[in-house]
Amino acid sequence: MFDKILIANRGEIACRVIKTARRMGIATVAVYSDADSRALHVQMADEAVNIGPAPAVDSYLVIEKIIDACKQTGAQAVHPGYGFLSENAKFARALKEAGITFIGPNLRAIEAMGDKIESKKFANAANVSTVPGYPGEIDDDVEAVKIADKIGYPVMIKASAGGGGKGMRIASSADEVAEGFRSSKSEAKSAFGDDRVFIEKFIVNPRHVEIQVLGDKHGNVIYLGERECSIQRRNQKVIEEAPSPLLDEKTRKAMGKQAVALAKAVDYDTAGTVEFVAGQDKSFYFLEMNTRLQVEHPVTELITGIDLVEQMIRSAAGEKLKIKQNEVKLNGWAIESRIYAEDPYRNFMPSIGRLVRYRPPKETSEDGVTIRNDTGVYEGGEISVYYDPLIAKLCTHAPDRGRAIEAMADALDAFYIDGIEHNVPFLASIMANKRWRSGQLATSFIDDEYPDGFSAAGASDEITNTLVVVAVTMDYAHNLRKRQISHQMAGRPVSFAEARHVLICGQWAVARVSENSYDPVRVVIQSKKRKKRFAVESGWHPGMPVWKGEINGIAKSVQVRPLANGYRLTHRGVETEAVVYTAREAELAKLMPVKVPPDTSNQLLCPMPGLVVSIDVSEGQEIKAGEQLCVVEAMKMENVLRAQRDATVVAINAEPGDSLAVDAVIMEFDA
């Protein structure tokens, strides 16, 4: 076994590998760029080596710097994590030549399967059923259009060295192919240092199901069940689960056998994933093989009890796989939600900045439910513009899918983040979605369910009542504290009105709060038809970011952000202001004028902090709705900004190369 390993990665996956290595008694070395000098993985590792400037192409993607760091520290092996150099054959070869062990597959497997184009050719030669497509290299957008025309629309354009949704586009016309080809090549070059792309048929209404395989250097390969990753946005996975609600045991075994046969054909000797596109009828086609650890590996670990990072390390050290196929048992159900630094209310544009508050739910394992949070950040840390916006991977495990979903919904309610925008409300919205709960999934799920983008969820009567109850009990707790202020003037005791008028979701509610020494707080909401009564127990006190307690015996978590005379509350994907007044204050509040936001309809605002890649129009030019105006890059993704209506450009305030803040005015149009 190794004495010391280096992790050639950053963020949550570097922290994840360090945890397992520490448990195994192995010392760890972190590498970091200038932007990551205070990152969590640097703090967790036993040693850390700076490998250069912030851009990944100057640091995390430079093979020579990783090898130099190994030599400086005496690291005997390298775990690549995922992304960056994890599927790079040149990197594995360079490590081998330097006498350093690669904690990953052998070179033959990487070259045959790690490259998306080569894996298609190899799979075809091995008579594995594959999606129709053109697996060769494509020279330019003209050739790309010809190929797409021959395959038939829609098509998928994919980076050969890609993953994580980078360098991927769905195109339904020749124009979209030409544009998508150029964007995919550019993104692939930036993210992976390899701009090759290929094209394949896009299967309509498909599901994404993948098989986890595990091998050793003695010819043993097993599969550890499947994961379903159909909840995707822009080809990037958002929510994953294991097992899949689609598969039965017969289909699972068929997919598993095919995955193992493919892995054995290249002497696969570590953890890897064989991805399939599956039809709603349980038909499936080989898509690609990822010769690395997957982002979503925790859900497999939770249902099998097998630490995949540990198995990778043991395999790299030459140990024989001790797990037999008949010993692999799938227990319960696991779900993973990816917490991203992005604004779901602004078309999921990336968000950067400091994590002023970062309070994830507590990792526990109680009453058959496990909560796990894999993260690479901390409160006070920074989300950088240079890297993937993943903050954390929140996982729940329970005896069945329904309980796992409920546990996830509760955990998301308790996941408190401030300082940046994040997608927790969006994830909470999915957990409440009836189609998601029924397991009727497809990779088009997000487009189908949110055709106009994500917007604040409407509050049901149940959620509105919950938020009213929480608001008035918090107001009551504040009043109790005010009663305890010392050196108050003598005379009549301080008293507060029992009735509270709450403005929430644009409506007024009247609630009364009372208690005695022995009972929970009692809240009565007065409606036109009847009174609704609630017994409330909570240990919340002013200043706590999450209200936790029981309402009529049911556990609830509500995020709290203080406002003047009230709170901004978040619960089950609903985010709203709740302002609490006395009766007289409510009378006066109803007379106050409403502030109207400024009109920005004649401006193109930068939707996120980013770098201007191109300005595609000029001043005085007449433009049509849908026409491309400019491209802004952030967090390794290129974002095309288009005209919302016909107009004339009257001013351009930015140029290629400019670094812009969110809401910076890029250009202006005529009225």
Q: Is the pLDDT of residue 164 over 70?
A: no
Mean pLDDT of 238-242: 98
Mean pLDDT of 99-122: 86
Q: Is the pLDDT of residue 166 over 70?
A: yes
pLDDT (tens digit per residue) in 66-106: 999 999 999 999 999 999 999 999 999 999 999 999 999 99
Mean pLDDT of 620-649: 89
Domains in the chain: ranges and CATH: 4-103 (3.40.50.20), 132-201 (3.30.1490.20), 208-331 (3.30.470.20), 339-445 (3.30.470.20), 461-483+497-589 (3.30.700.30), 603-669 (2.40.50.100)
Distance of CA 666 to CAs 591, 607, 608, 625, 633, Å? 38, 10, 12, 17, 14
Helix or strand (DSSP H, E) at 500: strand 499-504
The amino acid sitting at 295 is V
Using 50, 70 and 90 to split pLDDT, how confident is the model at 511? very high
Give the pLDDT score at 654. Answer: 95
pLDDT (tens digit per residue) in 242-258: 999 999 999 999 999 99
Those residues whose C-beta lies under 8 Å from the C-beta of residue 462, and which sit 6 or more positions away, are none
Q: Is the pLDDT of residue 163 over 90?
A: no
Q: Is the pLDDT of residue 234 over 90?
A: no
Helix axes 297-304, 308-316, angle to 10 degrees: 100
pLDDT (tens digit per residue) in 374-389: 999 999 999 988 898 8
Report how far residue 404's alpha carbon sits from residue 509's, in angstroms, rounded to the nearest whole number.
Answer: 34
Share above pLDDT 90 across residues of the chain, in percent, rounded to a whole number: 72
Share above pLDDT 70 across residues of the chain, in percent, rounded to a whole number: 98
SS3 104: coil
Phi-psi region of 164 (alpha: psi -120 to 50; beta: other; left: phi over 0): left
Report how far residue 506's alpha carbon sits from residue 576's, in angstroms, rounded to the nearest whole number.
Answer: 9
Using 50, 70 and 90 to split pLDDT, how confident is the model at 529? confident
Q: What single-letter DSSP state applies at residue 344?
A: G
Report how far residue 268's alpha carbon sits from residue 259's, in angstroms, rounded to the nearest whole number.
Answer: 11
Tokens of 563: 């406002």
Using 50, 70 and 90 to split pLDDT, how confident is the model at 124? confident
Q: Is the pLDDT of residue 128 over 80?
A: no
Q: Is the pLDDT of residue 118 over 80?
A: no
pTM: 0.83
Q: 278-292, 479-493, 496-510 — which is least confidently predicted?
A: 479-493
Tokens of 91: 């990197």
Report how far residue 284's alpha carbon sits from residue 276's, in angstroms, rounded to the nearest whole number.
Answer: 6
Q: 579, exposed or middle or buried, with CB in 10 Å at 0-12, 13-18, 19+?
A: buried
515 flagged as catalytic: no
Give the pLDDT score at 351. Answer: 87
Give the pLDDT score at 479. Answer: 87
Mean pLDDT of 641-663: 92
Mean pLDDT of 641-650: 92
Give the pLDDT score at 517. Answer: 58
Backbone angles phi, psi at 70, to 5 degrees: -60, -45
Give the pLDDT score at 132. Answer: 76
Going across the sheet that includes 221-233, the strands are: 284-290, 271-278, 207-215, 221-233, 236-242, 333-340, 390-398, 369-375, 364-366
Those residues whose C-beta lies under 8 Å from the C-beta of residue 460, and which sit 6 or more positions away, are none
Using 50, 70 and 90 to split pLDDT, how confident is the model at 1? very high
Give the pLDDT score at 494. Answer: 66
Alpha-carbon dihedral sign for residues 296, 196, 387, 71: positive
- What does pLDDT average to over the chain? 92
Q: HEC string of 418-481? A: ECCCCCHHHHHHHHCCHHHHHCCCCCCHHHHHCCCCCCCCCCCHHHHHHHHHHHHHHHHHHHHH
- The number of residues in the chain equals 671
Compare 68 and 116 and report the one with higher pLDDT: 68
Mean pLDDT of 528-540: 89
Report how far residue 549's alpha carbon sits from residue 27's, in angstroms, rounded to the nearest whole number.
Answer: 42
Catalytic residue among 111, 200, 288, 575: 288
Cβ-based neighbour number of residue 41 at 10 Å: 26
Helix or strand (DSSP H, E) at 273: strand 271-278
Q: Which residues of 233-272 are buried (b: 16+ CB within 10 A; e: fewer)?
A: bebbbbbbbbbbebbeeebbeebbebbbebbebbebbbbb
Mean pLDDT of 479-492: 78
Compare 164 and 331 and report the one with higher pLDDT: 331
Distance of CA 55 to CAs 60, 193, 236, 269, Å? 8, 12, 21, 32
Q: Is the pLDDT of residue 456 over 80?
A: no
Report how far residue 606's alpha carbon sits from residue 666's, in angstroms, rounded to the nearest whole number.
Answer: 6
Q: HEC string of 370-434? A: EEEEEECCCCCCEECCCCCCEEEEEEEEECCHHHHHHHHHHHHHCCEEECCCCCHHHHHHHHCCH
Report how far residue 150's alpha carbon sits from residue 133's, in angstroms, rounded to the nearest whole number.
Answer: 9
Compare 202 and 174 and report the one with higher pLDDT: 174
Give the pLDDT score at 300. Answer: 98
User: Among residues 541, 559, 555, 375, which one has the least CA distance to residue 467?
Assistant: 559
One-character DSSP codes across 24-41: TT-EEEEEE-GGGTT-HH
Q: 44-53, 68-77, 323-332, 529-538 — which is least confidently predicted?
A: 529-538
Q: Is the pLDDT of residue 178 over 80?
A: yes
Angle at 408 between CA 402 and CA 409, to 5 degrees: 90
* Cα Rg, the chain, nearest whole Å: 27
The whole-angstrom distance between residue 15's C-alpha and the CA centroid of its chain comes to 17
The amino acid sitting at 350 is P
